[in-house]
Amino acid sequence: MEDFDPTYIQAPEHRSDSNFIPNQPEEIPVIDLSRLDDPEDVQNVISEIGDACEKWGFFQVINHGVPSDARQRVEKTVKMFFDLPMEEKIKVKRDEVNPVGYHDGEHTKNVKDWKEVFDIYFKDPMVIPSSTDPEDEGLRLVYNKWPQSPSDFREACEVYAKHAEKLAFKLLELISLSLGLPKERFHDYFKEQMSFFRINRYPPCPRPDLALGVGHHKDADVISLLAQDEVGGLQVSRRSDGVWFPIRPVPNALVINIGNCMEIWTNDKYWSAEHRVVVNTTRERYSIPFFLLPSHDVEVKPLEELVSPENPPRYKGYKWGKFYVSRNRSDFRKLEIENIQIDDFKVKT
Ligand code: OGA
Ligand code: NI
């Protein structure tokens, strides 16, 4: 224990016991999407989603249409991949040219996460800016990396991702309606979507009191859809007071959360919550988030319909693709400076 690697150690105020009050009543909503089949219930579902986005920035959905066999298949093949020897896994390692594939040393806020990941672009190839320079309009293509073994890894992932994307757009429509906007208000932002999905493996950890699976962070995307296994460990910080709450594993449910883009589009009406992953000493845990991201050229700024003289824009706009490439560089190594954060775009008052 004495020689626990210090690069994993969280500052005391960010450890798993900070601001966590055990045995609080469960409040994060679980919404049954099969209720959308009942025309009389549709409006209730929409307002429950809107309330959850405002109060928590998190909710879970059940009967969401992503088939459980597609999910089980991906869970099975990714386990086989992560169980391979390291020499095999690093053949599909993330690099600076194509920042996807296998990676085991991600930093969140400059502290190392206790996890291994595998990242996959939804569109292959995907179009991204070629540099972080705001004046440079150059673009480049980035490609997925696929392991040779297990042999159905690629197909299992692609099938699951298509279902997840379909649900992401359905949720986007419901969120749009909950804001009093037309159903398809956001669709044009996704013509060259930069969505990707990730497989997280959190191995057992000898010091869950010091390290985290993922340190506290907000997702930078529009919405995230996360499949978690039965182990548990995801926690969300409550908007009203910052107290941490566990997101209880519900069989076959998906955890949905609001990311920074949606928070900015709604001028802070909807909340992108801080969340983190607590690890444990005995059980490995898997999770599969799908991150819905706009096209590289989308200007992320408060929607005109949602601002007014009484509610002026709280953010300056930024180009999504430029933000993404600046952000991505910092995942590779510990930087001396804090990486770029959404608050850097807040209008100073
Ligand atoms: C993430 C994340 C949560 C989890 O990958 O951004 O928050 O439960 N994951 O793995
Ligand atoms: Ni996250």
pLDDT at position 110:
84
Task: State if pTM tops 0.85.
Answer: yes
Check if the beta carbon of residue 198 is closer than 8 Å to that of residue 291.
Answer: yes
Q: How is residue 104 written in tokens? A: 């085991």
Ligand 1 pocket member 200 (CB < 6 A) = yes
Ligand 1 centroid – CA 135 distance (Å): 33
Residue nearest to atom 6 of ligand 1 (CA): 219
Ligand 1 atom, smallest distance to 228 CA:
8
In this model, does residue 335 exceed pLDDT 60? no
Q: What is the pLDDT of residues 99-152, one digit of tens each?
A: 899 999 778 888 999 999 999 999 999 999 998 888 999 999 999 999 999 999
Q: What is the pLDDT of residues 270-298, one digit of tens each?
A: 999 999 999 999 999 999 999 999 999 99
Q: What is the pLDDT of residues 36-71, one digit of tens each?
A: 999 999 999 999 999 999 999 999 999 999 999 999
Ligand 1 pocket member 277 (CB < 6 A) = yes
Ligand 1 centroid – CA 58 distance (Å): 12
Residue nearest to atom 8 of ligand 1 (CA): 234
Q: What's the pLDDT band for 340 if we cut at 50, 70, 90?
A: low
Tell me the mean pLDDT in the region 168-178.
Answer: 98
Ligand 1 pocket member 287 (CB < 6 A) = yes
Mutate to test the pocket of ligand 1, among 16, 212, 222, 226 (most ligand atoms within 8 A of CB): 226
- Give dist(CA 171, CA 225) in Å, integer: 10
Ligand 2 centroid – CA 39 distance (Å): 33
Q: What percent of the chain has pLDDT over 90?
A: 83
- Give dist(CA 280, CA 145) in Å, integer: 30
| Vertex 20 angle, CA 290 and 276, to 5° | 20
Ligand 1 pocket member 288 (CB < 6 A) = no
Residue 216 — φ and ψ, nearest 5°?
A: -55, 135
Query: From the CB of residue 81, how many other CB atoms can be counted at a distance below 10 Å?
Result: 20
Q: What is the pLDDT of residues 208-245, one digit of tens each?
A: 999 999 999 999 999 999 999 999 999 999 999 999 99
